[in-house]
Amino acid sequence: MWKGTLVSIHIAPEATVPLQSVTAARAVAGKGLEGDRYFTGRGTWSTHPGLGREVTLIECEAIEALERESNLKLELGEPRRNLVTRGVPLNHLVGREFRVGEVRLRGIRLCEPCKHLEGLTKAGAKDALLHRAGLRTEIVREGILRVGDPIEEV
């Protein structure tokens, strides 16, 4: 059994603007994180129906591996995911529920990188993040997310 940690939280008020790091954020079912572009319907993909756009996660280990393997350095918020985790096997959480502090999330699908992401980050990011760009989730139980929160499967 694994147990992880929430390393950082990132939100952006509009599509394409850099994400801001915050120490806490309210997760609202059916909406996402208060203050984030998808919560307000201002995200790049907000007009495209689909599940799993409420909260996105990425492993800190994947971001660190980019520099080791591809000489590509990205800051924690640059991959444009809301939550950065450590010690969490995100790819294995599709179809499963897990808890981040008091918030309960359900993994919907992997968050594969795209040309849009590469255009907002650095050349090579799309290929370097293939199959490890994170997880798209839905909020099952609302609450406040805080940096340092424990993460565990339920």
> What CATH number does the domain containing 117 carry?
2.40.33.20
Helix (H) or strand (E) holding 69: helix 60-70
What pLDDT does residue 117 have? 67
**pLDDT tens readout for residues 46-56:** 777 778 889 99
Give dist(CA 124, CA 66) in Å, integer: 10
Which of 12-16, 42-46, 92-96 has the lowest average pLDDT?
42-46
* pTM score above 0.85: yes
For β-strands 143-146 and 24-28, DSSP reports them as antiparallel
Averaged pLDDT of the chain: 90
Cβ–Cβ under 8 Å, residues 57 and 80: no
pLDDT at 93 exceeding the cut of 80: yes
> DSSP H helical segments within 77-146, as ranges?
115-120, 125-128
Query: Which domain does 92 fall in, by range?
Result: 4-153
Give dist(CA 133, CA 62) in Å, integer: 8
pLDDT at 119 exceeding the cut of 80: no
Domain count, the chain: 1
Is residue 130 classed exposed, middle or buried when 0-12, 13-18 and 19+ CB atoms within 10 A define those classes?
Answer: exposed
Q: Which range is most confident: 34-38, 77-81, 109-113, 147-151?
A: 147-151
